[in-house]
Structure 1
Amino acid sequence: MEIPWRRDAATSDPSDEAGRPTVLFMAHLSPKKNVQGLLRAWAQVVADRPHAQLWVAGDGGGRSHVKNLVERWRLSCS
């Protein structure tokens, strides 16, 4: 899973993602939003559809936790 933090989003080449199933999650990154549950479900999605991509846009106190989960569950490429 690629997390395009604000500074990175403008540098992404849209033609690279054309045709890939894409989901955008945009919210304040807090435990109440259950991003951890989304990432767990996303791991199952990419197991079935490896080219699918999830974009997480947001900031907040849970940002570092989200980044750690992405690394731990090896979702940085989806």
Structure 2
Amino acid sequence: LMGTALIFGYLVFHDALIFQFMEKVEDIASNFVLAAVPLFVFMGTMLERSGIAEQLFEAVHLWTRRLPGGLALGTVTM
């Protein structure tokens, strides 16, 4: 897709294509909301690798043992 965009953009916009792509990259890079996605994945990886996630699930399972849907409640509260 990116190759098609580059070829079509060069045919239509010629040298202005470089400035348009640089502006788009700057707009996306300065969006702080998108920084939350890799940080959320990193947090999940650290919880899983350190074993904290398993301990949290066990603790929530003890708290919600008698409730229906205890695993779902544990996932939501964690």
> TM-score scaled by structure 2?
0.26
Q: Comparing both structures, which one devotes a greater share of its residues to helix? A: 2
Structure (1 or 2) with the greater strand fraction: 1
Q: Tell which has more relative contact order, 1 or 2 (C-alpha 8 A, sep 6+).
A: 1
